[in-house]
Amino acid sequence: MYRGRSIGGVIASPLRSSLPDRVTIVEVGPRDGLQNEQGIVPTDVKIELIERLAGAGLPVVEATSFVNPKWVPQLADAEEVMLRLKRQPGVRYPVLVPNERGLERALAAGATEVSIFASATETFSQRNLNRSRDEAIEMFAPVCRRAGEAGTPVRGYVSMVFGDPWDGEVAPTEVVEQSLRLLELGCFELSLGDTIGIGTPGQVEDLLAAFDDAGVDASKLAVHFHDTYGQGLANVLAALQCGLSVVDASAGGLGGCPFARSATGNLATEDLVWMLDGLGVTTGVDLRAVAEASAWVCGCLGKDIPGRVARALQA
């Protein structure tokens, strides 16, 4: 069995040598993790979850979304969450904004970073934004312009990067084409989302190779995996080997998408940290503190913890 190459008495693994020294985890649980819950989660619970996760060392905690409450009632308290939140120095608290009105609300509530959410597929764009892919870019253009004028960084999400339940598979070139348009609008980073969790490591490599062919540096990209088919961690590992160092995850593995019912939970933050800790990759995240926060919020929701590592640590 091959066990790596010995260098100065230390076993050098070809796997570890291909990984970044540090990975930034973007915690999406308070927004993406909670938005699909059927019962309205109390504002106090949302705020405490955000503060617990920031206290656990997560450098980026996506706090909420300023979407029309009619479409996502769960996040109707976005202003209150942002205004009452005790922010920790050095922690970023981005919020999702769908349009100019959402941006206005976010800035008024003190947001210092925002995200926009596009789709790689036509049907999901219509279902999620009620607009075609082209119309979505037109809607985002003034958002990015006004955010830039306010000195507010904009992160871009591109969902359904491996396909959706309606249009089927999507070609990597289509994903790249839509993503380039977001970069042209001024997004500092793009999070590539496998919204229904169908991707495999080979598809991750193919997609990132297409971005490389288009001249997009890996430093501009992040990944956002759902674990529907149990491929989340394997897909992260493939992305890191391709040069990425930013990964989205959700405490406890909570999440889904209200507009794509086949989208089950996100990759669990604890599962990701457990793997990265084992590989010697620095995250700055306290594993047990995140697991405790996940167990706490799942208790508040009256549900079992989806994430495996949090379940194991609680047991």
- The catalytic site residues sit at 257
* Beta bridge pairs of residue 223: 192, 247
- Distance, in Å, from the CA atom of 109 to the CA atom of 123, rounded to the nearest integer, reads 32
* Beta bridge pairs of residue 247: 25, 223
Sign, Cα dihedral of 290, 293, 298, 304: positive
* The pairing of beta strand 10-12 with beta strand 5-7: antiparallel
- Distance, in Å, from the CA atom of 41 to the CA atom of 15, rounded to the nearest integer, reads 41
Rounded to the nearest 5 degrees, what angle is found at the Cα of 285, between the Cα atoms of 74 and 4?
Answer: 125
- Residue 47 burial (CB < 10 Å; 0-12/13-18/19+)? buried
